[in-house]
A and B are shown apart, each in its own frame.
Chain A
Amino acid sequence: MDYQTTTAIDDPPVILVGNPNVGKSVIFGALTGRYVAVSNYPGTTVEVARGAFTPNGHSRPLIDTPGIQSIVPFSDDERVTRDILLDNQSAIVVQVIDTKNLRRGMLIALELAETGLPLAICLNMADEAEARGIRVDAPRLADLLGVPVISTVATQRAGLSGISGLVEEAQTANYATVFAEPIEEAVTVISQLLPETAISSRSLALMLLAGDESLLERLGLSEYDESLIEEAREGAEQAVGQPLRFAINRQRLQRAEAILDAVIARTPVKRSVAAALGQWAVHPVVGWPILLLVLYALYRFVGVFGAGTLVDLIESRLFGELINPWLTGIVNQLTPPGLIRDFLVGEYGLFPVALTYSFAIVLPIVGTFFLAFSLLEDSGYLPRLAVMLDRAFRWMGLNGKAVLPMILGLGCDTMATMTTRILETRKERIQVTLLLALGVPCSAQLGVILGMIAGLGAAATAIWAGVIVGTLLVVGYLSARLLPGERSDFILELPPMRLPALGNIALKTAARMEWYLKEVVPVFVVGTAALFVLDRLNILGLLQRLMSPLIVGWLGLPATVTDAFLVGFLRRDYGAAGLFAIARDGSLDTVQIVVSLVVITLFMPCIANLLMIVKEYGGRTAIAVTAVVFPLAFLIGGALNFILRAFAVVL
Chain B
Amino acid sequence: MQCQLCGYEFEVTSLVCHTNCPLGSHCNLICCPHCGYQAVDESRSKLAGWIGRIFPARARPENAGDRARKVMEEKLVPLSHIPDGAEVEVGTLDEMPARRLARLSVFGLLPGSWVTLVQRTPAPVIRIGETELALSTEILDQIWVHPEASPHAP
Contacts and interface: CB of A to CB of B under 8 A. Distances in A.
Interface of A: 69-70, 72, 74, 100-101, 103-104, 107, 132, 134, 210-211, 243, 245-246, 249-250, 253, 278-279, 282-284, 287, 383, 386-391, 394, 399-400, 478, 481-482, 489-494
A387 B125 contact: yes
Contacts of B50: 482
B105 A390 contact: no
Contacts of A284: 119, 121-122
B107 interface: yes
A103 B121 CA distance: 27
B102 A245 contact: yes
B21 interface: no
Which one of B50, B104, B122, B135 has the highest number of Cβ atoms from chain A below 10 Å of its Cβ?
B122
Interface of B: 50, 53-54, 56, 93, 98-108, 110-111, 113, 118-119, 121-123, 125, 129-136, 139
A493 B104 CA distance: 11
Is chain B's interface secondary structure helix, strand, loop, or mixed overall?
A: mixed
B134 A383 contact: yes
B134 A282 contact: yes
B110 A282 contact: no
A246 B102 contact: yes
Contact of B105 (A134, A250, A283, A383): A250
Contact of A386 (B101, B103, B131, B134): B134
A134 B129 CA distance: 11
Contact of B134 (A134, A210, A243, A387): A387
A249 B133 CA distance: 18
Nearest to A392: B122
Contacts of A491: 100, 103-104, 107, 133-135, 139
A279 B119 CA distance: 9
B133 A494 contact: yes
Contacts of B139: 489-491
A277 B98 CA distance: 35
Nearest to B111: A250
A494 B98 contact: no
A489 B132 CA distance: 16
A380 to B, nearest CB: 10
A612 to B, nearest CB: 29
Going nearest first, the 6 A-B pairs with the smallest beta carbon separation are A69-B106, A243-B98, A249-B105, A390-B123, A494-B132, A490-B136
Nearest to A75: B103
A482 B54 contact: yes
Which one of B50, B118, B123, B139 has the highest number of Cβ atoms from chain A below 10 Å of its Cβ?
B123
23 contacts: A101-B129, A104-B107, A104-B108, A132-B130, A243-B102, A246-B102, A246-B110, A250-B110, A278-B132, A283-B119, A284-B121, A287-B122, A387-B123, A387-B134, A390-B136, A489-B100, A489-B136, A490-B123, A491-B103, A491-B134, A492-B133, A493-B134, A494-B134
A490 B123 CA distance: 10
Contacts of B100: 489, 491
A282 B125 contact: yes
Contacts of A107: 106, 108
Given A243-B101, A387-B123, A493-B131, 14 more contacts: A101-B129, A103-B108, A210-B102, A243-B98, A245-B98, A245-B102, A249-B102, A390-B123, A400-B134, A489-B100, A489-B136, A492-B134, A493-B107, A494-B125
Contacts of A101: 129-131
B98 A211 contact: yes
Contact of A481 (B56, B102, B103, B119): B56
Contacts of A103: 108, 129
Nearest to A256: B108
B114 to A, nearest CB: 11
Nearest to A283: B119
B54 A399 contact: no
Nearest to A250: B110
Nearest to B108: A103
A247 to B, nearest CB: 10
Contacts of A246: 93, 98, 101-102, 105, 110
Contacts of B103: 69, 74, 489, 491
B123 A391 contact: yes
A386 B132 CA distance: 14
A287 B122 CA distance: 9
